[in-house]
Chain A
Amino acid sequence: MLQIKDLHARAGDAEILKGIDLSVRAGEVHAIMGPNGSGKSTVANVLAGRPGVEVTRGSVRFEGEDLLAFAPEERARMGIFLAFQYPVEIPGIANSYFLKAALNAIRSHRGEEELDAMDFLAVVREKMKLVEMDERFMSRSVNEGFSGGEKKRNEILQMAVLEPRLAILDETDSGLDIDALRTVAYGVNSLRSPDRSMIVITHYQRLLDYIVPDFVHVLADGRIVRSGGKELALELEEKGYSWIAGETEALAPEAVAP
């Protein structure tokens, strides 16, 4: 589904990604872990097409297409979804209005009929149960005055409604207490399916107790320095990132080899 090859990217003057290789097949859940500043969020931003992040080398193919050639909205319509680390507050745009516009943009791209207000409401009601959201959130402005947990649940609601092929969750656990984390993870898990892939980006292993990945990759200084199964996350939790950092230098020449 997704092939990232030798991806280099910069934001401003700083080179952040220094050669990332990653393949994600349909139905797989990959976790990307790493210390602050390792480039985790930049991977997410490159995939979603955030302006200001410049790809200097490498390629990203998504379902056979050159993903980097598409605008953010086109990527969303192709099935990419980014759950934001810091969900944006937009006063003056009602959650329901925004989400209906998004869903209809995606449906019309897929050649499906646009939903009217009634049908949309039926879809949303169903999905809101997944993340235990109250219907009154739909008439409020997007994320305005939402608590940290409510914002993250709102992100997962959007994911549930838009039904992406590849979901990227950028530090979805940050700022969540344990109850909110469980709710969010429950929502995410119920969206796992054989034809939907996920990339879960996190600093802490904690989230992976709830969203169990098929693969774990450790990012340090813009490179994947280690890949393994879910047990790698536990090892990291035990030994800390300094364990990887200590090994990074030794691994580095190998990691940059083409």
Chain B
Amino acid sequence: MSNLIALRDRVVSNFRNFEALREDVDPAWLATLRREAIERFAEAGFPTRKREDWKYTPVDPIARALAETAARRSRIFASRRFAKAVDISTMSHFLVFVDGSFAPDLSSPGALPDGAVVDGLSNVVRDRPDLAEALLARTRSAGPRCFVELNSAFQSDGAVVALSAGVVVSEPIHLLFLATEDTDGNACFERNLIDLADDASAVVVERHLGLGDAAYVTDVVTEATLGSNARLDHVALVRQSSRAMHLATASFEIGSRAQLRSHAISLSGALIRNDINALLAEEGAECVLNGIYVAGDGQHVDNQSTIDHAKPHGTSRELYKGILGGRSRGVFNGKVIVRPDAQKSDAQQYNPNLLLSDGAEIDTRPNLEIHADDVKCAHGSTVGCLDANALFFLRSRGIGERDARRMLARAFATEVVDMLPVDELRSEFGGLVGSAVAQIGELR
């Protein structure tokens, strides 16, 4: 506990150095936002295990890594190394971020309709300060959200996707966050801001990729608002280095009859923590939260989600599937809140888990908090191992045991992969899930 306080103080003092470095870059309003955020952080500090949402994930190693981070300005190498990690040839719109900073030379926003802004946050701060300020100032502190505050204080860059009313970008907008060897011992704070006005529609795909074996912390915050009838598919793929800690917070505010589909696919990293918050803010809002997490020996994946039905006639569907092997640990803590005003809400929440080894562990806590009386809600979770009958069936047809186990584990994830938008993503991500499963299978 006192340890966490000391670490907090070091992070705050790091901020002073960081602030000095940013002096000639940040406009006054941004410097103020950063300072306010670090003050809120200093007040609340790091969360302890007494908090329900941090019961299963140790904060100490994260806090220590952040405290030891040296403040510095990112250097960007016009490197094309990432081309090996991801195929950009089929992407119409992509922004590349290297170690937390926007790399315009590597990016290609592509041809966009009028009324669409797709750019690095640092560029937007410089070129359209009003828009940047409006989007950044929107972050409200809903309870103590330590890693959101730290992100607000330290964010170095990120993506802005802002679409005016009725603007539709039909091809996916790809955001590639690359962590190179240069980021070893450091932290990346990325902030993505998505703003879809009424009737706007977009597919935004974040890929968080570790290109080497560096140890670093990523603290990424994505905030999105959806106006009436807007549609957003948000995909977040985590394939960080085996020594990385990845903390991601995604918050969505969903307008009237708007539709959010979120897909969180966590495949590698020493520690992955996903916080997803969906606020069904207006009548008839819809959200789908899909997730897959795959963890092998020594990995820890913690998924926290809150779906808040604030207004009537909202629909939410949450399906998170976990595949755990080796000595790994998974957490699912999902809350669905139905406010007194939110009559005729329809909520379903499921968390099935597949354990491939004796050493794997899952803590699953689906829960409903219902304050309205005319609602339809269901939730549940399961924990199981591979179906012995199915395994024997595949083997009896000549398929080797290891391949059969992989096929079955991969099949378990198919339901979620199939819900991804766009054929190319289903096939690419299906393949990635398959190889992640194959890797943890070796350590059985």
For residue A117, CB closer than 8 A to chain B, the reply is no
Q: How far is the CA of A51 from the CA of B390 in the complex (A)?
A: 12
Q: How far is the CA of A90 from the CA of B398 in the complex (A)?
A: 16
For residue A77, CB closer than 8 A to chain B, the reply is yes
Within 8 A of B (CB), among A137-163: 141, 158, 162
Identify which of A50, A84, A91, A99 contacts B411 (C-beta below 8 A). Answer: A91
For residue A115, CB closer than 8 A to chain B, the reply is no
CB distance from B211 to the nearest CB of A (A): 31
Q: How far is the CA of A194 from the CA of B394 in the complex (A)?
A: 28
For residue A20, CB closer than 8 A to chain B, the reply is no
In the complex the two chains form, is A105's CB within 8 Å of B411's CB? no
Range class of the A interface residue count: 20 to 34
Q: How far is the CA of A101 from the CA of B395 in the complex (A)?
A: 11
CB distance from B400 to the nearest CB of A (A): 5
In the complex the two chains form, is A102's CB within 8 Å of B412's CB? no
Within 8 A of B (CB), among A90-144: 90-93, 98-99, 101-103, 105-106, 109, 141
A162-B396 contact given A92-B413, A92-B415, A93-B411, CB 8 Å threshold: no
A50-B392 contact given A77-B398, A101-B399, CB 8 Å threshold: yes
For residue A48, CB closer than 8 A to chain B, the reply is yes
For residue B389, CB closer than 8 A to chain A, the reply is yes
In the complex the two chains form, is B395's CB within 8 Å of A72's CB? yes
In the complex the two chains form, is A162's CB within 8 Å of B411's CB? no
Q: How far is the CA of A92 from the CA of B389 in the complex (A)?
A: 15
Q: How far is the CA of A93 from the CA of B404 in the complex (A)?
A: 11
The contact string, 1 if C-beta is below 8 Å from chain A, for chain B 380-406, is: 000000011110111111111101100
Identify which of A77, A84, A91, A98 contacts B407 (C-beta below 8 A). Answer: A98
Q: How far is the CA of A81 from the CA of B413 in the complex (A)?
A: 29
Identify which of B387, B389, B392, B400 contacts A105 (C-beta below 8 A). Answer: B400
For residue B410, CB closer than 8 A to chain A, the reply is yes
For residue B306, CB closer than 8 A to chain A, the reply is no
For residue A34, CB closer than 8 A to chain B, the reply is no
For residue A256, CB closer than 8 A to chain B, the reply is no
CB distance from B401 to the nearest CB of A (A): 7
Identify which of B389, B401, B408 contacts A71 (C-beta below 8 A). Answer: B401
In the complex the two chains form, is A92's CB within 8 Å of B390's CB? no
A51-B392 contact given A91-B411, A91-B415, A101-B407, CB 8 Å threshold: yes
Nearest-CB residue, chain B, relative to A89:
B390
Q: How far is the CA of A207 from the CA of B387 in the complex (A)?
A: 31
Residues of B within 8 A of A102 (CB): 394, 397-399
Within 8 A of B (CB), among A61-99: 71-73, 75-77, 81-82, 84, 87-88, 90-93, 98-99
In the complex the two chains form, is A76's CB within 8 Å of B395's CB? yes
For residue A39, CB closer than 8 A to chain B, the reply is no
For residue B414, CB closer than 8 A to chain A, the reply is yes
Q: How far is the CA of A173 from the CA of B33 in the complex (A)?
A: 74
Nearest-CB residue, chain B, relative to A105:
B398
A84-B393 contact given A51-B388, A93-B411, CB 8 Å threshold: yes
Residues of B within 8 A of A141 (CB): 411
In the complex the two chains form, is B398's CB within 8 Å of A92's CB? no
Q: How far is the CA of A105 from the CA of B414 in the complex (A)?
A: 23
For residue A49, CB closer than 8 A to chain B, the reply is yes
Q: How far is the CA of A76 from the CA of B393 in the complex (A)?
A: 11
In the complex the two chains form, is B411's CB within 8 Å of A92's CB? yes
Q: How far is the CA of A50 from the CA of B391 in the complex (A)?
A: 10
In the complex the two chains form, is B407's CB within 8 Å of A76's CB? no
Residues of A within 8 A of B400 (CB): 73, 105
Q: How far is the CA of A51 from the CA of B410 in the complex (A)?
A: 23
Q: How far is the CA of A30 from the CA of B415 in the complex (A)?
A: 42
Q: How far is the CA of A49 from the CA of B394 in the complex (A)?
A: 12
Q: How far is the CA of A52 from the CA of B391 in the complex (A)?
A: 13
Residues of A within 8 A of B403 (CB): 101, 105
Nearest-CB residue, chain A, relative to B394:
A98
Q: How far is the CA of A92 from the CA of B434 in the complex (A)?
A: 12
Q: How far is the CA of A106 from the CA of B412 in the complex (A)?
A: 25
In the complex the two chains form, is A88's CB within 8 Å of B407's CB? no
Residues of B within 8 A of A93 (CB): 407-408, 411, 414
CB distance from A199 to the nearest CB of B (A): 15
In the complex the two chains form, is A91's CB within 8 Å of B396's CB? no
Residues of A within 8 A of B387 (CB): 88, 90
Residues of A within 8 A of B390 (CB): 88, 90
In the complex the two chains form, is B398's CB within 8 Å of A88's CB? no
Nearest-CB residue, chain A, relative to B393:
A88
Nearest-CB residue, chain A, relative to B412:
A92
Q: How far is the CA of A72 from the CA of B388 in the complex (A)?
A: 13
Interface positions of B (Cβ within 8 A of A): 387-390, 392-401, 403-404, 407-408, 410-415
Q: List, sorted by A's number, 17 A–B pairs whose CB atoms are closer than 8 Å.
A: A51-B388, A52-B388, A73-B395, A73-B399, A76-B396, A81-B396, A90-B387, A90-B393, A90-B394, A90-B411, A92-B411, A98-B394, A99-B397, A101-B399, A101-B403, A105-B398, A105-B399
Closest 9 CB pairs of A and B: A92-B411, A92-B414, A76-B398, A102-B397, A72-B395, A105-B398, A88-B393, A106-B398, A73-B395
